[in-house]
Chains A and B, each alone.
Chain A
């Protein structure tokens, strides 16, 4: 009888792309739950819409590229992209915002560049930037956390808002936001903590005055603190599971911390401290879930450190001196651009290569 021939190695750890992507999705659950708790059911519907759009778009793209749609969809990468985008946008943004974003992420950013493994940019972040500059109103209509508003829109009403932009009682999204904050007449006052700081500083307030705003609570912003803590927890699980290495979150948070400390010393009145930078906005999500996207990140350990440090620095610079309150997406895309150069100059010294000393 003839035996089966196979190339070595014959053993495999069997941690496949599918396993990794599933773990990433699982590790996002605490963060998603925190967002759900503080900001209502909107995010649930955004996840559903984004996920189904991503699956359909991915399968169509794979068919168009003569790949097996069933096999391709099984790597879960489209779902991760969809989830990252869904948790990044305002929970009550109209349905077409997330649909456009997801389609752009999957079709243009991912498949037009050659599909999984070949995209230069992080698809979720590229889509986020597209949405932010195309639909600034919808993309900045964030909700106040439940701890301030006292209540959030319920399961069905949030779906109605996303689909029809009105509740069954005829309230629009902005009215809901205003009602939630008890400020019916001033419909756009409620912003994210980072928005708030930016606006206040622009109006000539000092940082400490701005921080007196109730949305900041005791530490880093109502709700946002816990959302970040939850993503940090999920990220630590990923680290412990060795799905990601410490280099990217470490260098990102480290650089951000260093820049923040220097900034706080130089200009304590206008530059917020580490509590704001680490635990407000999307910092933890970026550090553990977005910047760690292997496809668009640098590959060597040294490269990862440089890449993530660059993101950390850019986040700080854009938040502090740029026109946008948060900066994750821009920072990640700019760092994505630098990856080929970083990879080129951070090649490890091969064993026995005498040029590097020894």
Chain B
């Protein structure tokens, strides 16, 4: 049972770094509303998992908040029309994803009237079951806004009766200021979301965690915390990247580590982002699905760095242009922060539910990586790894494709925070190697499963053939036995056996033949020849005698 107070000691996670924060100037102006884009591209897939099932068609006019897809099975979350307009196409469009792939996307021609559908807020929560509320959150498309966009309802469903609900307002990654601004401006709404989350999870305690580099956000949240709710506490934690990582934050606040292959709920903890809490409050109290989010637009090539409420589906290019973006040669546009964000090849990709930052740095402020040099085993990576791994060892194993070694060295526990690559004096892109190795291990696993299935199929077929052969032999054996038995039965009943009779006849004939053959047939033939020769000789003698007689007769006459 975890019990935290405002004075309970904070713990340190291993490693961590202090990269330049650079949250200003984006965090120093109120969150803006940019002009609506003329076209929105709402990807049906906002996160990993199967795409949601479509429920609109081309040419249809949609209103703001209208569902474009159904809550799917598994992790499928519906998406909604972020504003009113006409669906012009449902095609493959570049996804906002590190892969740079395309995916099914609903293209909406915005009519700039921003007409809402009928909104149906949940009025009396207490009358509804937990399941009904979770279903409602699912249909509202609420996803975790801090990280990978995991469906919020699913995360809550897996955790009931937990000890501590942690509301993550840490936002440890440099440049990103979306949660910072949200806490400053929407503290009440966030707390309302926390209350709902507390009810749904039956958490005994709610801890709001903020890094100490956000004094304004801390002040705003402290002011909003009402004295009468004693189960809510606010903890200010030291600024250290990546303290906002789920596992790291849990360790900082509770001193506990989530055991490998388990979830935070297994140790009585659940972590939700402040943005998610606010989205929950808006969904339940105002009936608004997740249509927009706060996006940090920053970097030295952006003339007016700011945070802004951006409708899901707005092209990144539109957001950047609205803030005065001027690309330089070899410009990088990063979705997310400088540590874990990914670059996108084109600005056509849309803002998604998880896009918390669009960073367009100049080459001066974030110098591109230099060529990789040899590892000098300095161990700097190991000093900063928040998961206590051995990054340099992993790098060698990854380069050698030693997947067993990688598993032994807990590659799966790498959260890809990039601290190791940040400090590496040889500028080895360590995270890149880990990601590649992870993908290869996944692929290998799939291959193994495939070959396992193939093996099972082959073995099953072999077994079937063997069985059939045996059955066939068995059948033959039985038939032979039956015949023998029948024969024996006939023999016993003294019946004439035609086969035996025929055999006997054949034998008799053969015996007769053999007996004939025993007679001296060859001598017989000799006699005949001798007789014939004798006959011929006799004839010849007669003819000679006759001739002599005639001669004699002639001499005589």
Contact = CB atoms under 8 A, between A and B. Distances in A.
15 contacts: A4-B331, A4-B368, A8-B341, A8-B342, A8-B432, A10-B339, A12-B367, A13-B19, A15-B425, A17-B425, A20-B425, A71-B371, A116-B374, A299-B393, A351-B251
A214 interface: no
A11 B343 contact: no
Interface string A347-358: 111111110001
Most buried by A among B336, B361, B379: B379
A309 B383 CA distance: 20
Contact of B379 (A14, A300, A347, A349): A300
Contacts of A353: 260, 410, 413
Interface stretch (B157-165, B384-392, B452-460, B466-474): B384-392
Given A10-B338, A15-B423, A299-B382, A351 B343 contact: no
A264 B256 CA distance: 46
B463 to A, nearest CB: 40
Given A10-B361, A13-B17, A351-B14, 19 more contacts: A3-B344, A6-B368, A7-B429, A7-B431, A7-B435, A8-B432, A9-B339, A9-B431, A12-B367, A16-B426, A115-B374, A294-B376, A299-B377, A299-B390, A300-B379, A301-B382, A350-B387, A350-B389, A352-B258
A9 B434 CA distance: 13
A294 B378 contact: yes
Contacts of B361: 10
A295 interface: yes
B23 to A, nearest CB: 14
A354 B259 contact: yes
B257 A2 contact: no
A341 interface: no
Contact of A358 (B259, B334, B377, B416): B259
Please provide the 7 A-B residue pairs with the shortest distance between their CB atoms, ordered closest to farther.
Answer: A9-B418, A294-B378, A7-B432, A11-B338, A299-B379, A350-B410, A351-B387
A316 B277 CA distance: 62
Give the size category of B's interface with A: 35 or more
A17 B377 CA distance: 11
Interface string A331-358: 0000000000000000111111110001
A22 to B, nearest CB: 11
Interface of B: 13-14, 17, 19-20, 100, 174, 247, 251, 256-260, 262, 327, 330-334, 336, 338-347, 359, 361, 366-371, 373-379, 382-383, 386-390, 392-393, 409-410, 413, 416, 418, 421-427, 429, 431-432, 435
A17 B373 contact: yes
A117 B413 CA distance: 26
Nearest to B339: A9
A348 B390 contact: yes
Interface residues of A, number: 43
B418 A14 contact: no
A13 B373 contact: no
Given A10-B366, A300-B382, A353-B410, A348 B388 contact: yes
Contact of A6 (B327, B336, B369): B369
Interface string A51-68: 000000000000000000
B422 A11 contact: yes
B399 to A, nearest CB: 13
Contacts of A8: 336, 338-342, 416, 418, 421, 431-432
A93 B449 CA distance: 68
Q: Name which of A2, A11, A353 has the most chain B CB atoms within 10 A of its CB.
A: A11
A157 interface: no
A6 to B, nearest CB: 5
Contacts of A350: 260, 387-389, 409-410, 413
A299 B389 CA distance: 12
A358 B421 contact: no
Most chain B beta-carbon contacts within 10 A, residue among A8, A115, A295, A354: A8
Contacts of B256: 358
A295 B332 CA distance: 34
A5 interface: yes
A300 B338 contact: no
Contact of B340 (A1, A2, A9): A9
Contacts, number: 164
B390 A117 contact: no
Contacts of A14: 367
A117 B418 contact: no
| Interface of B (DSSP majority class) | loop
Nearest to A244: B378
Contacts of B367: 12, 14
A17 to B, nearest CB: 5
A351 B257 CA distance: 7
Contact of A16 (B330, B336, B377, B427): B427
Interface string A1-45: 111111111111111110110000000000000000000000000
B488 to A, nearest CB: 73
A301 B345 CA distance: 41
A301 B381 CA distance: 12
A14 B202 CA distance: 47
A20 B378 contact: yes
B383 A245 contact: yes
A10 B332 contact: yes
A75 B373 contact: yes
B331 to A, nearest CB: 5
Contacts of A10: 332, 334, 338-339, 341, 343, 359, 361, 366
A60 B448 CA distance: 47
A352 B259 contact: yes
A282 B128 CA distance: 78
Contacts of A13: 17, 19, 422-423
Contacts of A118: 374
Contacts of A75: 373
Contacts of B258: 352
Contact of A12 (B377, B427, B432): B427
Contacts of A354: 259-260
Nearest to B247: A351
B373 A5 contact: no
Given A8-B418, A347-B390, A350-B260, A19 B425 contact: yes
A294 B423 CA distance: 15
Interface in A101-159: 115-118
A351 B251 CA distance: 10
Given A10-B361, A352-B258, A117 B388 contact: no
A207 B429 CA distance: 56
Contacts of A300: 379, 382, 390
A356 to B, nearest CB: 10
A59 B408 CA distance: 39
Contact of A295 (B14, B100, B377, B389): B377
Contacts of B333: 3
Interface in A60-106: 71, 75, 77
B476 to A, nearest CB: 60
A20 B426 CA distance: 10
Contacts of B393: 299
Contact of A351 (B369, B388, B409): B388
Contacts of B247: 351-352
A4 B382 CA distance: 30
Given A2-B345, A3-B331, A3-B332, A348 B382 contact: yes
Contact of B345 (A5, A71, A116): A5
A208 B387 CA distance: 54
A77 B425 CA distance: 13
A6 B425 CA distance: 18
Nearest to A116: B374
A11 B19 contact: yes
B426 A17 contact: yes
Contacts of B13: 351
Nearest to A354: B259
A117 B423 contact: no
Nearest to B426: A17
B376 A116 contact: yes
A9 B382 contact: no
